[in-house]
Structure 1
């Protein structure tokens, strides 16, 4: 029997990459899913088709997670159209590279608003509904190895992910009495659209692979498997933890 039968998940940024893989995997485990997208409805529809093929229900909701009203609506639509919202996967994220002295206020705001502010206030909307309904729930943040590991020239990204680590730890304590668990997944290098330029740069890619003991990038489906575990009853006693999934990168990383 599917492990998530009858549960409802919101997966942000689920039009492609890790988010799409997680939504599809949760559907295979029995969950119905809210597919969040900001700009590319065609990608979101492709995810919805995968969810349907896996046996789940899917609804599409346009939401910019950096806008509070969109966060509230995303959770509201889950309850109105699918009857509940048990699992929240904060996956939406962006990065902008620049030397620290060249970072603009606009780029800082863009990264922090999506990666941190969005996760913060979407989780708040999710928790408020669960608290009122007296239901337990699961929050799964897709963080990064860079919540702990340096990433020169990506200071805004590191700041957002480091903050996500402490937010997770704090909320695990604060929300535990409500039966809501909070955990982070910290991927290393993953074969997704955010890494398109890396994959096209052979010298840079080879230098990275030399730092990864397993010698390859992760597939999105491998991240999705861990998310499915954290959403399941097998992880009922797991909270306040970061799960690193990086092929050993953090233990072997050094700047060239």
Structure 2
């Protein structure tokens, strides 16, 4: 049996770090990224380091539903789906509110939908989210929650804008709503996958040691203050988030599903403690 893994956003950052961990856990690893050259460079580097997996770059934008269907088709051609680390995302600094909700939430639901038929006993998914909804205290009323629980509706973006209101058009507010949607989605997905013995979790990183974070720190005092409040006193490395993701898809986490794992250096603890 050939086992297959997927790492999205695998061309750089946390997605690349996840790919490097998964490359020792499966036989074939699909490096999904919209930047095919970056994914190919990671695949070449993995091949030169004696990893177990044969790494194959796969060009896809996670907001392209047909592209994600092709990704699922490629998995089916190769073997049995074993592990998925979905780290592809956009930040509030990179896109408008629609793109953020589509890339960071709707794409998660679409990816899950196309891969669900391939899930079997032992298949594990980890979907990256964020601590931002925990910091922002996102707590929707029943009407908003009902819209969030149906992200595959064709008019979802218009419906969620009407439900939340014009404030969601601010990318800095759209992002916590999008990642909160991932938290909710994973709980429901774990229930759907349970009968076949498959699992799904979300992982919520705190501030990442990356150029985007450094730009946010330089531009926004509130971001700088949040990092200063982190008990460990620093941002997190991509490899640290990837290590937790690798655990969540491993057999050692075989009874862990339907939960969000916070990896934030203690930031949420500090904020909740006042």
TM above 0.5, yes or no, is yes
Counterpart residue number, 1:169? 187
Query: Is 1:76 equivalent to 2:76 in the alignment?
Result: no
Counterpart residue number, 1:137? 123
**Residues 231 and 198 (structure 1), Cα distance of their counterparts in 2 relative to 1, 3 Å cut:** same
The answer for unaligned runs of 5 or more in structure 1 is 99-105
Map of 1:85-234 to 2, 5 A cutoff?
85-97=81-93, 107-130=96-119, 134-150=120-136, 154-198=172-216, 206-234=224-252
Structure 1 Cα separation of the partners of residues 135 and 237 of structure 2: 21
Structure 1 Cα separation of the partners of residues 219 and 121 of structure 2: 47
Query: Is 1:45 equivalent to 2:34 in the alignment?
Result: no
Structure 1 Cα separation of the partners of residues 195 and 265 of structure 2: 34
What is the SS of the residue equivalent to 1:189?
coil
84-93 vs 195-204, greater mean Cα deviation: 195-204
**Residues 8 and 193 (structure 1), Cα distance of their counterparts in 2 relative to 1, 3 Å cut:** farther
Aligned mate of 2:31, from 17, 35, 54:
35
Structure 2 Cα separation of the partners of residues 144 and 204 of structure 1: 17
**Residues 203 and 124 (structure 1), Cα distance of their counterparts in 2 relative to 1, 3 Å cut:** closer
* Number of residue equivalences: 238
- 1:83: Cα distance to partner? 2.1
Q: Is the 8 A contact 1:147 1:163 kept in 2?
A: no
Q: Is the 8 A contact 2:40 2:56 kept in 1?
A: no
For the aligned residue pairs, the C-alpha RMSD in angstroms reads 2.5
Structure 1 Cα separation of the partners of residues 115 and 68 of structure 2: 9
Structure 2 Cα separation of the partners of residues 141 and 175 of structure 1: 14
Structure 2 Cα separation of the partners of residues 31 and 192 of structure 1: 30
Structure 2 Cα separation of the partners of residues 30 and 192 of structure 1: 28
Counterpart residue number, 2:143? none
- 1:153: Cα distance to partner? 6.2
Counterpart residue number, 1:9? 5
Structure 2 Cα separation of the partners of residues 10 and 77 of structure 1: 11
**Residues 118 and 17 (structure 1), Cα distance of their counterparts in 2 relative to 1, 3 Å cut:** same
Structure 2 Cα separation of the partners of residues 178 and 85 of structure 1: 13
- Deviations, residues 98-147 of structure 1 (Å, cap 9, x unaligned): 9xxxxxxx8222111111111101111111123xxx55411101111123
**Residues 83 and 30 (structure 1), Cα distance of their counterparts in 2 relative to 1, 3 Å cut:** closer
What is the SS of the residue equivalent to 1:28?
coil
**Residues 144 and 167 (structure 1), Cα distance of their counterparts in 2 relative to 1, 3 Å cut:** same
Counterpart residue number, 2:56? 59
Structure 1 Cα separation of the partners of residues 42 and 234 of structure 2: 25
**Residues 206 and 116 (structure 1), Cα distance of their counterparts in 2 relative to 1, 3 Å cut:** closer
29-38 vs 17-26, greater mean Cα deviation: 29-38
Query: Is 1:22 equivalent to 2:22 in the alignment?
Result: no
